[in-house]
Amino acid sequence: MAKVSIGLRGWRFEESEVFAEDGDWRPFEEIPDETRERLIRLRTLVNKPCDCCFLIHGEEEMERCREAAIVYGEPYSEVVLCDDHEADFLYWFREAGGDAHVGEDELQDEFHEWFAAGERAPEGYGGVDHVDTDPETLPDPPNPNEDNEDRYRIDLREGLDRDGGGGDIDEVDLGDLDLSTDYPSS
């Protein structure tokens, strides 16, 4: 099997670590830890704005920021970029010393400082040629917060009578509560 990008280009996954032979996602407990961490992180990165667009427009004009399409770096210190700003990152990484921060938490901060200082890739600087192969056919990713058991929701409001006509809790039950007791805390 080959290496694939999922959700955003940039991070590459060994297809056999992520997908079962039938093409569906492997259960999360079968996915190696590092791969699982990246997949979980991707869930929050997919809809983030491009870091460069955000540095240009800020919180006040968030609607002008393009959505991220590419991710580089390590989880939680990654750089997310739109297609238009990928060349800036690649130039910084290849030509302006960014490669000195490979695998380091500082990669994100160093790139942001370089970009915020007005640095950019020269006009026409080439990016990476990405090959997109029908991302719509990917199955929905497994939810890391759910195990394979069927889950059910408990309605905490169930049993409360909002009309005052009785219910599971009555005044006698409430009178038996000792609310003055101090309980130890950790």
Query: Any idea which residue has 């939680």 for tokens?
Result: 76
Per-residue pLDDT, 16 = 92
d(CA 53, CA 61): 10
Q: What tokens were used for 9?
A: 């280009």
First to last CA, the chain: 50
Per-residue pLDDT, 23 = 86
Q: Is the pTM of this model over 0.75?
A: no
- Count other C-beta atoms under 10 Å from residue 146's C-beta: 10
Per-residue pLDDT, 151 = 44
- Shortest CA distance to 92 belongs to which of 67, 118, 69, 66? 118
Per-residue pLDDT, 115 = 98
Per-residue pLDDT, 152 = 46
Q: Return the domain boundaries, the chain.
A: 47-125
The series of mean pLDDT values per 10 residues for the chain, 186 residues long, is 86 92 90 94 93 96 96 95 96 95 94 97 76 55 54 50 52 56 60
Per-residue pLDDT, 149 = 45
